[in-house]
Amino acid sequence: MDDFDRKIIDEIENSFDFLVKTRRFFHTHPELSGKEIKTSEFLKDQMKSLGLEIKEVKGTGFYAVLDTKKPGKTLGIRSDIDGLPIEENKCNMTCEKVSVSENKGIMHACGHDGHMAMLLNSAKILTKYKEALRGKIIFIFEEGEELGTGIRPMIEELKKLKIDGIYGNHLVSFMDVGSISFTPGPVMAGSAIIDFTVHGKGGHGSRPDLSINPIFAAANIINGLASAWVNQIDVTKTVTLGLGSINGGQQRNIIPDTVRVTGTMRFYDVDEGKKAYEVLKNVAENISAASRCSLEFTKESGFKEGPVINDEKLSNLANSAIRDLEIFDLHQKEIWFASESFSFYRSIAPSLFAFVGIRNREKGIYSEHHNEHFDMDERALKYGSLAQVKFAREFLTKDYENINLT
């Protein structure tokens, strides 16, 4: 640990009130994907107050540039900004929360409020100490991660820049506060959306023979998928099948015209994921035809995003840098079957996605993500912001190509 490390540790400790206050502001005022108007305005005002140049991206996303005016590499650091359509419970798993959404039916249930607070705090510290850095830092605020509404416009804009690496944090409820993970290789799953409608012929329940019942067809499709997954998906390349809804009909004596089935698939092997989706389509189409029904997939249905894959050299750099601080509990092999649009940044530059623990069982903070009881131990904000600042300094000022921890 050198003098710079000691300085930034002190800065993080002194900024804890800012981190908490900012995170709670975002938490009480969440906005849905693509509608983060006030959130985006607040973030831009904060970045402008640091004297940073703002670059607009189509929608509510944007990025800000810190230029040290010294030659060197360019690092992107990313945060998502959207909330979820969930009515928040004022309690976590056992206790009352310190902060609850004031926007009915919307909450930050995935940690994005903390992501924004950490990146704002890191921007403040990195700007203050820019004389100790080289090159540029691009602070990325991505619209609509939950629905994928902002990632493609952001990627198109960032492609115009010469970025050498991209870093992101994700607060996670499956790790204790104080822990962090920079696992190399695949760390989050790719995903595909399942959304199809079975079209039959409605009628009265007293004469099912005069109808074509799509409910039976949909049920047989679901049963057929269970068999297909056992017999056609490579057992060494897991693909999860998560059916989330089946909707058709409203009255017990009325056979409906249609039944809609939705869900998702998750995978780490892209080719096997794409194969699995084709298996699903074949099963659904053939069973529909055998049931005298027709089938319609929505435009949204299909491959959504690939897995998040951490660059090995960046992982080694981060593990080496964070170990030097002697503060974190370093985890080495954490993976998560959730999906993330951060996977797209790998098309621009080598990327690294860190998991930062927020769990505190004694305080009832251990809910799954996307849950009304979701909560965080706010001390995690210090660890996440410190990791961002430390990684940025190491990436911009040191030769990391030959670091090897394997």
Predicted local confidence at residue 2, as pLDDT = 86
For 285, half-sphere exposure in the C-beta direction (CA atoms, 13 angstrom radius) is 8
Which residues make Cβ contacts (< 8 Å) with residue 156, sequence separation at least 6?
A: none
- Rounded to an integer, the average pLDDT of 383-395 is 97
Name residue 212's amino acid: I
Spatial distance between the Cα atoms of 146 and 157, rounded to a whole number of angstroms: 20
Predicted local confidence at residue 283, as pLDDT = 98
Reported as a single tens digit per residue, the pLDDT across 250-292 is 999 999 999 999 999 999 999 999 999 999 999 999 999 999 9
Predicted local confidence at residue 401, as pLDDT = 57
Predicted local confidence at residue 400, as pLDDT = 58
Please report which confidence band the pLDDT of residue 204 belongs to, taking 50, 70 and 90 as the band edges: very high
Spatial distance between the Cα atoms of 156 and 288, rounded to a whole number of angstroms: 40
Spatial distance between the Cα atoms of 276 and 182, rounded to a whole number of angstroms: 29
Q: pTM to 2 decimals?
A: 0.92
The token duo for 84 is 């979820």
- Rounded to an integer, the average pLDDT of 362-377 is 98
329 beta partners: 179
Reported as a single tens digit per residue, the pLDDT across 156-180 is 999 999 999 999 999 999 999 999 9
How far from the centroid of its chain's Cα atoms is residue 368's Cα?
14
DSSP 227-295: HHHHHHS-TTS-EEEEEEEEE--SSTTEE-SEEEEEEEEEES-HHHHHHHHHHHHHHHHHHHHHTT-EE
Predicted local confidence at residue 402, as pLDDT = 54
Predicted local confidence at residue 350, as pLDDT = 97
Maximum separation of any 2 CA atoms in the chain, in Å? 83
- Rounded to an integer, the average pLDDT of 294-317 is 96
Spatial distance between the Cα atoms of 114 and 60, rounded to a whole number of angstroms: 18
Mean pLDDT of the residues in the chain:
96
Q: Give the H/E segment covering residue 26.
A: helix 16-28
- CA-to-CA dists, residue 156 to 58, 346, 348, angstroms: 10, 13, 10
Predicted local confidence at residue 106, as pLDDT = 98
Report whether pLDDT(60) > 60.
yes
From 142, 120, 146, select the one nearest 50 (Cα to Cα).
120
Which residues make Cβ contacts (< 8 Å) with residue 30, sequence separation at least 6?
A: 39, 82, 83, 84, 101, 103, 106, 107, 108, 113
The token duo for 393 is 């300094």
Judge contact between 39 and 60, C-beta under 8 A. yes
Reported as a single tens digit per residue, the pLDDT across 323-350 is 989 899 999 899 999 999 999 999 999 9
Predicted local confidence at residue 1, as pLDDT = 79
295 beta partners: 198
- CA-to-CA dists, residue 151 to 3, 39, 283, 289, 307, angstroms: 38, 17, 32, 37, 15
Q: How many residues does the chain have?
A: 406
Please report which confidence band the pLDDT of residue 136 belongs to, taking 50, 70 and 90 as the band edges: very high
Predicted local confidence at residue 332, as pLDDT = 87
Which residues make Cβ contacts (< 8 Å) with residue 267, sequence separation at least 6?
A: 189, 190, 191, 192, 237, 238, 239, 240, 273, 276, 307
Burial state string for 78-113 with b = 16 or more CB within 10 A and e = fewer than 16: bbbbbbbebebbeebbeeebebebeeeebbbbbbbb
* Ramachandran angles phi, psi of 348, nearest 5°: -100, -45
Which residues make Cβ contacts (< 8 Å) with residue 22, sequence separation at least 6?
A: 116, 117, 120, 121
Reported as a single tens digit per residue, the pLDDT across 70-99 is 999 999 999 999 999 999 999 999 999 999
* Ramachandran angles phi, psi of 283, nearest 5°: -60, -50
Spatial distance between the Cα atoms of 82 and 68, rounded to a whole number of angstroms: 30
- Rounded to an integer, the average pLDDT of 95-116 is 98
Please report which confidence band the pLDDT of residue 405 belongs to, taking 50, 70 and 90 as the band edges: very low
The token duo for 200 is 């039959």
Spatial distance between the Cα atoms of 174 and 350, rounded to a whole number of angstroms: 26
Q: Percentage of residues in the chain with pLDDT exceeding 90?
A: 96
